[in-house]
């Protein structure tokens, strides 16, 4: 067996071992039996919330066990086919086995990423906030481009997107936006996107066609459920109401239905204006505040190895995590991992996987 082929087999075996350790393979099988016993109880659906959480856990374990077992089975079959081809000096069988092995390597490397999503809140949905930096229309247009980029990336994964709050720019773009992203491991995938993003381009708003540099900040935090206790005291809050701006119909623009909540001890500000009901906007804003405080606690727990933003920084020079250059050449480069791509437009269209995967790998590596 050639050294290159042996190396591919080692890659697959390593991925399977890591996945087994990630899920505690034998314990996971026992846990699955326990969950199936609970689900078979005739009173299982009496508590809808708990039932859904149990089904969610069962489906997650089912999926990971299937991934591991399928990789193991396909690797064993491919090795057997390869050995048969070598023994019979059948080059066609050997070529088929080599091709299968190559596909298995890609699948194993992809599945191995699941072992990186092992944080406390990685399975949760998430909120993503985007804020334009200084620079007026230029920065606001850049914030809108980032909103589109993350929307495209989320859609490509089948995630659901909900606009919670959007502040439209005077001439173009947006001053800020908050989106709720619903999908499997949404927070786990997106958490390393927090930081300042820098754009260099010829401005479409500059009649002299000069090159401009713009900044916008991205902040990602997990949606939390009611089972997580976050203590919020009334004396620590300032609650303001205001008229919602932008789309929403005649009523939403004429009443003070939008809600802004400031948590005074941390200076965290959340706001919601996506509903005509002030009551529902208030409930959503409180949910966002709870999520932000929970995310802050998660960051504190891992601050020794934290390579994501642990607090909001100035939206400007020296704080960026990624640069997007559209002129005089095209290049997107992550300044934390040095991953770069020459096709900047594809990145702005949502092709973010290489950057996200590298950032996750670096983050986990720093914590080990």
Report d(CA 60, CA 37) in Å as an integer.
16
Report d(CA 302, CA 363) in Å as an integer.
10
Q: Which value, to the nearest 10 degrees, does the dihedral of the CA atoms of residues 70, 110, 121, 53 take?
A: -30
Decide if domain 128-368 falls under CATH 3.30.70.1660.
yes
Query: In the chain, what are the domain boundaries?
Result: 3-116, 128-368
Between 238 and 170, name the one with better pLDDT: 238
Average pLDDT estimate for 236-251: 70
The stretches of the chain forming alpha helices (DSSP H) are: 3-23, 25-39, 48-87, 91-112, 137-156, 186-190, 249-252, 278-301, 344-348, 353-367
Percentage of the residues of the chain whose pLDDT score is greater than 90: 54
pTM value? 0.71
Report d(CA 361, CA 368) in Å as an integer.
11
What is the second-level CATH architecture of the domain 3-116? Up-down Bundle (1.20)
Q: What is the reported pLDDT for 154?
A: 97
- Orientation of helix 48-87 relative to helix 3-23, angle to 10°: 160
Q: What is the reported pLDDT for 136?
A: 85
Q: What is the reported pLDDT for 252?
A: 44
Structure-token match 């697959």, residue found? 12
Q: Is the pLDDT of residue 115 over 80?
A: no
Count of beta carbons in the 10 Å neighbourhood of residue 37: 9
């Amino acid at each position: 067996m050639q050294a290159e082929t042996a190396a591919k087999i080692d890659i697959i075996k390593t991925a399977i071992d890591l996945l087994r350790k990630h899920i505690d393979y034998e314990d996971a099988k026992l846990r699955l039996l326990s969950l199936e016993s609970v689900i078979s109880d005739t009173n299982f659906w009496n508590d809808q919330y708990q039932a859904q959480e149990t089904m969610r856990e069962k489906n997650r374990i089912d999926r990971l066990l299937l991934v591991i077992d399928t990789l193991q089975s396909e690797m064993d079959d491919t090795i057997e086919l390869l050995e048969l081809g070598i023994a019979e000096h059948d080059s066609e069988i050997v070529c088929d086995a080599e091709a299968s092995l190559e596909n298995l390597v890609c699948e194993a490397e992809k599945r191995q990423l699941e072992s990186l999503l092992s944080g406390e809140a990685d399975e949760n949905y998430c909120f993503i906030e985007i804020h334009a930096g200084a620079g007026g229309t230029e920065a606001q247009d850049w914030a809108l481009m980032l909103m589109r980029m993350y929307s495209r990336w989320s859609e490509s994964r089948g995630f659901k997107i909900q606009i919670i709050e959007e502040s439209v720019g005077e001439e173009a773009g947006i001053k800020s936006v908050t989106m709720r992203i619903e999908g499997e491991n949404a927070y786990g995938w997106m958490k390393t996107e927090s930081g300042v993003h820098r754009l260099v381009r010829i401005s479409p708003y500059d009649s002299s066609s000069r090159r401009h540099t713009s900044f916008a900040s991205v902040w990602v935090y997990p949606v939390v459920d009611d089972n997580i206790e976050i203590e919020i005291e009334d004396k620590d809050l300032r609650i303001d109401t205001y008229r919602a701006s932008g789309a929403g119909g005649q009523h939403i623009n004429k009443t003070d239905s939008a809600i802004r909540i400031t948590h005074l001890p941390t200076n965290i500000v959340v706001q919601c204006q996506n509903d005509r009901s002030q009551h529902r906007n208030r409930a959503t804003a409180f949910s966002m505040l709870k999520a932000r405080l929970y995310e802050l606690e998660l960051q504190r727990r891992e601050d020794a190895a934290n390579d994501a933003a642990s607090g909001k920084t100035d939206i400007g020079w020296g704080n960026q995590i990624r640069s997007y250059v559209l002129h005089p050449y095209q290049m997107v480069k992550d300044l934390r991992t040095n991953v770069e791509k020459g096709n900047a437009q594809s990145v702005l269209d949502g092709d973010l996987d290489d950057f996200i995967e590298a950032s996750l790998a670096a983050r986990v590596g720093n914590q080990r």
